[in-house]
Chains A and B, each alone.
Chain A
Amino acid sequence: METPGAVEMFPSLTHESHAGDRWNPYHEFYKDDFQPRLHYKPLWEQIQRAGQNALASKAREAHLALHAEGVTFTVYSDKDQGIERVWPFDVIPRIITAAEWLQIEAGLKQRVRALNLFLKDLYHGQRVIKDGVIPAELIYKGKDFRREIMDVDVPGDIYTHISGIDLIRDDNGRYLVLEDNLRTPSGVSYMIENRILERRILPEFFTQYRVRRVEHYPQLLLQALRHVSPRGKESAEIVVLTPGIYNSAYFEHTFLAREMGVELAEGRDLAVKNNIVYLKTTRGLRRVDVIYRRVDDDFLDPLCLREDSTLGIAGVINAWRAGNVALVNAPGSGIADDKAVYAYVPAIIRYYLGEQPILQNVPTYQMTNPDHAAYVLDHLDCMVVKAVAESGGYGMLMGPSATPALRAQFAAKVKEDPRNYIAQPVVPLSRHVCYLDGELESRHIDLRPYIIYGQEIEVVPGGLTRVALTKGSLVVNSSQGGGSKDTWVLADPSAVAFGEGASEAV
Chain B
Amino acid sequence: MLSRIADSLYWMSRYLERVDHTARFIDINRLYMLEAEDTISESAQWRPLLTIVGADAAYAERHPGADVTARRAINFMIQDRNNPGSLYASLRLARENARAVRDRISRAMWEGINELWLYTEQRVHSGLSLEVVDELLHMVRKEVALFHGLTVNTMMRGQPFSFYLLGTFVERADMTARLLDVKYHLLLPDASMVGSALDYYQWAALLKSLSGFEAYRRKFHATFRPIDVAEFVLFEPEFPRSLAFSVERMAQALAQLDDTPATRAGQSLQGIRAMLAEHSGASVFNFGLHEFLEQFLAAIAEFNEALQVDYFEAYLGTKECVI
8 Å CB contact of B4 from A254, A257, A280, A285: A280
Number of interface residues of A (CB under 8 A): 28
Q: From residue 100 to 142 of chain B, which have CB atoms closer than 8 A to chain A? A: 100, 102-103, 107, 110-111, 114-115, 118
A283 touches B322 (CB 8 A): yes
Would A285 and B321 be within 8 Å (CB), given that A69-B111, A245-B100, A257-B103 are in contact?
yes
Interchain nearest-CB distance for B8 vs A (Å): 10
* A269 and B322 contact, CB distance less than 8 A: no
A279 to B1, alpha carbons, bound, how many Å? 9
**B301 within 8 Å of A (CB atoms):** no
B114 touches A269 (CB 8 A): no
Take A245-B99, A285-B321 as given contacts and tell me if A280 and B114 are in contact as well, using a CB distance cutoff of 8 Å: no
By a CB distance below 8 angstroms, the chain B residues around A257 are: 103
A257 CA / B2 CA spacing, docked (Å): 13
Tell me whether A369 is interfacial, beta carbon within 8 Å.
Answer: no
Contact yes or no, A284 B99, CB < 8 A: no
A280 with B314: CB separation less than 8 A: yes
Of the residues A250, A263, A285, contact of B322 by C-beta under 8 Å: A285
Out of B1, B100, B114, B312, name the residue touching A68 (CB < 8 Å).
Answer: B114
Question: Cβ of A264 < 8 Å from any Cβ of B?
Answer: yes
Contact in complex: A281, B3 (CB < 8 Å): yes
Neighbouring A residues of B317 by C-beta, 8 Å: 284
Instruction: Give A278 to B103 CA distance when docked, in angstroms.
Output: 20
Q: Judging by beta carbons under 8 Å apart, are A258 and B1 in contact? A: no
Majority SS of interface residues in chain B?
helix
* A282 with B6: CB separation less than 8 A: yes
Which residues in A have their C-beta under 8 angstroms from that of B100?
244-245
Digitize A240-281: 1 where CB-to-B-CB distance is under 8 Å, 0 elsewhere: 000011000010001001100001111011010000001111
Most-contacted residue by chain A among B5, B257, B311 (CB, 10 A): B5
* Cα–Cα, bound, A459→B83 (Å): 52
- CB atoms of A265 and B118 under 8 A apart: no
A282 & B103 in contact (Cβ 8 Å cutoff): no
Measured between beta carbons, the chain A residues less than 8 angstroms from B323 are 237, 286-287
Tell me, in angstroms, the Cα distance from A259 to B204 when the chains sit together. 49
Given A67-B118, A70-B111, A271-B315, A281 and B99 touching (CB < 8 A)? no
Query: Are A245 and B96 in contact (CB-based, < 8 A)?
Result: yes
Could you say which residues of chain A place their CB within 8 Å of the CB of B238?
A: none
Q: Are A279 and B2 in contact (CB under 8 A)?
A: yes
CA of A282 to CA of B254 in the docked complex: distance in angstroms? 13
CA–CA, A125 and B229, complex, Å: 82
Q: With a 10 A CB-CB cut-off, give which of B2, B3, B100, B317 has the most chain A CB atoms.
A: B2
Q: Which residues of B contact A264 (CB under 8 A)?
A: 103
- Closest A residue by C-beta to B160: A282
Q: What are the nearest 8 A-B pairs in CB distance?
A: A284-B319, A280-B315, A258-B103, A282-B311, A254-B102, A257-B103, A70-B114, A254-B103
Query: B residues near A, CB below 8 A?
Result: 1-6, 96, 99-100, 102-103, 107, 110-111, 114-115, 118, 159, 257, 311-312, 314-315, 317, 319-323
